[in-house]
Amino acid sequence: MAALPADFPIPIARVSIPEHVVYRAFAAETVILNLETGRYHGLNATGGRMLELLDRCDSVAEALVELAGSYGKQQVEVEQDLRVFCTRLHERGLIDVTFNGSR
Amino acid sequence: MAVAEPAASVTPVVTQADVERRGRAFGLEVLSAYEIPALEIPAPARGGPASSLRSTVCREQGAAELEHAWPTEGVEPLVELRFPNGRPFLSVSRHREQGYRIWAPRHGRHVVSPDGREIRSALPRSAAAAWQRLFFAQTLPLAAALQGLELLHASAVGLGGRAIAFTAAAGTGKSSLAAHLLATGATFLTDDVLALELGADGVLAHPEPARASVFSYELRSMTNEGRARLGRRVAAADKPQFEPSRASSALPLAILYRISRSPRFARLGLHEQVPAEPMAVLASSFLTYLRTRERLLNQLAVCDRLTRSVRVYDLEIPASVSAQATAAFVRAHSEGVLAE
Q: Point out the domain boundary residue: B130, B147, B164.
A: B147
Question: CA of B307 to nearest chain A CA: how many angstroms apart?
Answer: 8
- Whose CA is closest to B191, among B124, B243, B131? B243
Question: CA of A37 to nearest chain B CA: how many angstroms apart?
Answer: 8
Question: CA of B326 to nearest chain A CA: how many angstroms apart?
Answer: 28
B13 belongs to a structural domain: no
B87 and B235 belong to one structural domain:
no
Q: Where are the beta strands (DSSP E) in A4-100?
A: 13-16, 21-25, 30-34, 39-43, 96-99
Given pLDDT bands bounded at 50, 70 and 90, which one contains residue A6?
Answer: confident
Cβ within 8 Å, pair B276-A28: yes
Q: Name the closest residue on chain B to residue A25, using Cα atoms.
A: B304
What is the tens place of the pLDDT at every residue in B283-299? 999 999 999 999 999 99
A100 belongs to a structural domain: no
- Whose CA is closest to B91, among B79, B99, B75, B100? B79
- At residue B41, the pLDDT reads 67
**Of chain A residues 34-93, which have a CB less than 8 A from chain B?**
35, 37-38, 40, 42
Q: Among A22, A35, A37, A41, which would you mutate to test the B interface (most chain B Cβ atoms within 10 Å of its Cβ)?
A: A35
For range B101-118, the mean pLDDT: 95
What is the tens place of the pLDDT at every residue in A16-58? 999 999 999 999 899 999 999 999 999 999 999 999 999 999 9
- At residue B127, the pLDDT reads 75
B73 and B106 belong to one structural domain:
yes
What is the tens place of the pLDDT at every residue in B258-271? 999 999 999 999 99
- CATH code of the domain covering residue B237: 3.40.50.300
Cβ within 8 Å, pair B275-A24: no
Question: CA of B68 to nearest chain A CA: how many angstroms apart?
Answer: 31
B203 and B323 belong to one structural domain:
yes
Which chain B residues are within 8 Å of A26, Cβ to Cβ?
Answer: 275-276, 278, 304, 307
A102 belongs to a structural domain: no
Which chain A residues are within 8 Å of B293, Cβ to Cβ?
Answer: 35
Q: What is the mean pLDDT of chain A?
A: 92
Cβ within 8 Å, pair B278-A42: yes
B220 and B323 belong to one structural domain:
yes
- At residue B35, the pLDDT reads 85
Is the per-residue pLDDT at B5 higher than 60?
Answer: no
pTM: 0.89
- At residue B43, the pLDDT reads 57
What residues form DSSP beta bridges with B4? Answer: none
What is the tens place of the pLDDT at every residue in B25-75? 999 999 998 888 888 866 554 555 656 679 999 999 999 999 999 999 999
Q: What is the mean pLDDT of chain B?
A: 90
Whether B312 and B276 have beta carbons less than 8 Å apart is answered as: yes
- At residue B42, the pLDDT reads 61
Domain coverage including residue B74 = 21-147
A6 belongs to a structural domain: no
Q: Point out the domain boundary residue: B147, B176, B211.
A: B147
A99 belongs to a structural domain: no
Which chain B residues are within 8 Å of A24, Cβ to Cβ?
Answer: 278, 300, 304
B15 belongs to a structural domain: no
B277: nearest CB among A22, A28, A33: A28
B59 and B185 belong to one structural domain:
no
Is the per-residue pLDDT at B334 higher than 90?
Answer: yes
- At residue B171, the pLDDT reads 86
A29: nearest CB among B279, B300, B308: B279
Rounded percentage of chain A residues whose pLDDT exceeds 90: 85
Q: Point out the domain boundary residue: B147, B182, B209.
A: B147
B57 belongs to a structural domain: yes
Q: How far apart are CA B183 and CA B238, in angstroms?
A: 20
A24: nearest CB among B275, B276, B300: B300
B128 and B249 belong to one structural domain:
no
For chain A, count helices (H), then strands (E). Answer: 3, 5
B127 and B160 belong to one structural domain:
no
Q: How far is CA A95 from the centre of its chain?
A: 7
User: What's the structural domain count of chain A?
Assistant: 1
User: What's the structural domain count of chain B?
Assistant: 2
Domain coverage including residue A67 = 13-93
For range B247-251, the mean pLDDT: 92
Given pLDDT bands bounded at 50, 70 and 90, which one contains residue B17?
Answer: low
ipTM, two decimals: 0.87
B297 belongs to a structural domain: yes
Cβ within 8 Å, pair A26-B291: no
Which amino acid, one-letter code, is at B99?
A: G
B161 and B270 belong to one structural domain:
yes
Given pLDDT bands bounded at 50, 70 and 90, which one contains residue B317?
Answer: very high
